[in-house]
Amino acid sequence: VTSLMRAGTCFGTCFERHTLGARSAMAMFSGAARASGKFVRRAAASPQAPVWAVAARASSSGAALQLPFLPPFVEELGNVTIAPIETAKSMHPAFYIDEQYVQVERERIFGTHWFAAAHTAELSTPGDVKVIEVGGTSIIMTCDKDSKIHAFYNVCRHRGARVANKDEKGCKQLVCPYHWWAYRLDGSLKSTPPAATPKERKDLLGLQRVPGLETFAGIVFLNQAPNSVPLLESLGDLPKKLARYDMVNLEHAGKKEYTINGDWKLIAENFVDFYHINAVHPELSKFSRVDDHQPYQGPGQYVGFVTTPLTDSGGPGDSHHFNTFKGLYPVESNAGLFFQIFPNISVTVYPHSVYTLMTFPTQHPGVTKEVLSLLMAPGAKKEEDTEEEYKEKCQKLFDFVANVNDEDVVAIENLQNGLRNARARGLHGEFLPKYDWPIHRFQNMVLQGIRGSTVNEDNMPVLCGAFQRQVTDANEVGRAHAGAPVLVEASDQGAPRASGTLARERP
């Protein structure tokens, strides 16, 4: 595998942007920024190791960044999924099981695309330290004395030992346990006891920064590629959809960690699969019914839909238990929003709370670390509730959410086992367009992502929903009252007005 990876593919980028931290990562971590380009076939180094290249412009530094070898079967098996949903088939089981593919995916997706790493609430106080593992790469995130967030590779500059092994609060410095090299929380080298190291050399021996770090919706995103496209640019119209939700000041109310015997992509696909709710989630289906789900999708690296209206059912999520986000449109105050932000974070936004699923592939195919977090809207506590009553309500809501996720884990692990059988028989899954369009979109983001591109919107259906139009109308009314020019939501795209339908025609 190593020799195949070294064969590599040359991949350039035409994006120029200042990223936080160093301009380049160590060679073992380097990857290419995303850029669209045409795949061309070059002469292979050997019949067993054909080399694929993307014709794209070089980065601003002029250096060609190396990506690992892309096995030909990725192209061959992926083509039936990168097609309009009416004729497409689901991704081949090999994409969830084969080691050769999984290794390439770790490098090409988590090595070159923005991915979710933490909530800003976890790194909000000086001295906060968080350690994550992403497919064999270990990363330290810190909040320094100036409340600035940093991200570094978990590698001591002396001999390469791991510097940190667990999350911490109130940390003053990072100390390597091997020889006690000490680093400040901004990554700079502080001391090398008992030796005295000149300052000019210390300045060169700080922890290696992850090249890209940006925040959105209270989430810290990282990118291991130098000169990467800005995060917001990749998200399309999603920031506009979340504009009235105060995601920055959310309050943590609970967290649960899982080790799931299932591929990370299956977890994302399960999240956007509302078709399974009746079969897997009997309690959830009481207030989030399958037929109440509508598309809430526009351009960008995400999958989005909405369930409306929400139905009070005597459960801990009923509307009367908490205050809602301030400033929502009336239609938003009775809706649940669901977004899978590519690649690895699932975000559910209710009028009073948010819960997220953050997934990290491990070094082992078919095994994923997942973190479930519940966060409450600012001011969610009812005035008449005591602190203890509010905490009890939050705990009941978290228990409900965790139970739903526990049910999903069983379904995901069963699916992973089934795909092993399907792999042996070369079977592709089938799509039902009415229900499976979110999975089709996500799988296309994956397959285009490993090719160094983004989802091809021309292959995606135009999605039309009544909720989208109601939000657009409310936005137009609000801007008219303010005397500002009316802006039309980008995701409308002149699409037909039928509620909850999929349309193939594009304007």
Query: What DSSP state is assigned to residue 209?
Result: B
Q: What is the pLDDT of residue 75?
A: 79
Q: What is the pLDDT of residue 295?
A: 92
Query: Where is pLDDT greater, at 278 or 201?
Result: 201
CB atoms within 10 A of CB 43: 6
Does residue 57 register a pLDDT over 70? no
Q: What is the pLDDT of residue 287?
A: 67
* pLDDT (tens digit per residue) in 317-368: 999 999 999 999 999 999 999 999 999 999 999 999 999 999 999 989 899 9
Q: How far apart are CA 94 and CA 436, in angstroms?
A: 20
Q: How far apart are CA 221 and CA 342, in angstroms?
A: 11
Q: What is the pLDDT of residue 501?
A: 37
The verdict on whether omega for the bond into residue 211 sits within 30 degrees of 0, i.e. cis, is no
Q: How far apart are CA 170 and CA 175, in angstroms?
A: 14
Query: Where is pLDDT greater, at 313 or 68?
Result: 313
Does residue 506 register a pLDDT over 80? no
* pLDDT (tens digit per residue) in 147-169: 999 999 999 999 999 999 999 99
Q: What is the pLDDT of residue 131?
A: 98
* pLDDT (tens digit per residue) in 236-259: 999 999 999 999 999 999 999 999
Query: Where is pLDDT greater, at 424 or 47?
Result: 424
Three-state DSSP at 370 gives: strand
Does residue 461 register a pLDDT over 80? yes
Which residue is it, tokens 């005591």? 386
Q: How far apart are CA 99 and CA 363, in angstroms?
A: 10
Instruction: Give the confidence band of 73 by pLDDT, cuts at 50, 70, 90.
Output: confident
Instruction: Supply 282's token pair.
Output: 């009997």
Instruction: Give the confidence band of 495 by pLDDT, cuts at 50, 70, 90.
Output: very low
Q: What is the pLDDT of residue 35?
A: 33
- Type of residue at 94: A
Contact (CB, 8 A) for 281 and 404:
yes
Q: How many CA atoms lie within 13 A of 187 on its CB side?
A: 23
Contact (CB, 8 A) for 211 and 23:
yes
* pLDDT (tens digit per residue) in 256-306: 999 999 999 999 999 999 878 877 887 777 767 777 888 999 999 999 999
What sign has the CA pseudo-torsion 241, 245, 249, 253? negative
Which residue is it, tokens 């009415």? 434
Is the whole model's pTM more than 0.85, yes or no?
Answer: no
Q: What is the pLDDT of residue 157?
A: 96
Instruction: Give the confidence band of 465 by pLDDT, cuts at 50, 70, 90.
Output: confident
Three-state DSSP at 84 gives: coil
Q: What is the number of residues in the chain?
A: 507
The overall average pLDDT reported for the chain is: 82
Q: What is the pLDDT of residue 483?
A: 56
* pLDDT (tens digit per residue) in 363-381: 898 999 999 999 999 999 9
Instruction: Give the confidence band of 70 by pLDDT, cuts at 50, 70, 90.
Output: confident
**How much of the chain, in percent, has pLDDT values that exceed 90?**
61
Q: What is the pLDDT of residue 274?
A: 85
Q: What is the pLDDT of residue 402?
A: 96
Ranking 7-16, 262-271, 382-391 by mean pLDDT, the lowest is 7-16
- Type of residue at 278: N
Three-state DSSP at 75 gives: helix
Q: How far apart are CA 372 and CA 96, in angstroms?
A: 22
- Which residue in 77, 106, 110, 109 sits closest to 91, CA to CA? 77
